């Protein structure tokens, strides 16, 4: 899976998504995920596969995340 580096995912409202609200996968690094409102996703509102480095998760409002603590 290709990685995404240096992305800013901010200020989104995501409701009732099929599997994940926002996910960071495949060695993606140095991304900012901040100020998002995510609710009622199928598996997790926020998901990170714990690969890559330098990803920042701030002020996200959600119910579920994997790993725990991203909300």
Q: What is the DSSP string of the chain?
A: -----S-EEES-EEES-SSEEEEE-TT--S-EEES-EEE--SSEEEEE-S-SS--EEES-B-S-EESTT--
Structural domain containing residue 19: 8-66
Q: What is the pLDDT of residue 3?
A: 87
| 29 in any annotated domain | yes
Name the domain count of the chain: 1
| 47 in any annotated domain | yes
What pTM, to 2 d.p., does this model score?
Answer: 0.92
Cis peptide bond prior to 67, omega within 30° of 0: yes
Q: What is the pLDDT of residue 33?
A: 98
Rounded average pLDDT per 10-residue block, the chain, 71 residues? 90 96 96 98 96 97 97 93
Q: What is the pLDDT of residue 2?
A: 74
């Amino acid at each position: 899976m290709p990685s995404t580096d240096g992305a800013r995912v901010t200020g989104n409202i995501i409701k009732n998504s099929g599997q994940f609200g926002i996910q960071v996968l495949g060695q993606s690094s140095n991304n900012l995920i901040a100020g998002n409102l995510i609710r009622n996703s199928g598996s997790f509102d926020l998901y990170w596969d714990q690969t890559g480095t330098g990803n920042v998760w701030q002020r996200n409002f959600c119910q579920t995340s994997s790993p725990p603590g991203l909300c």
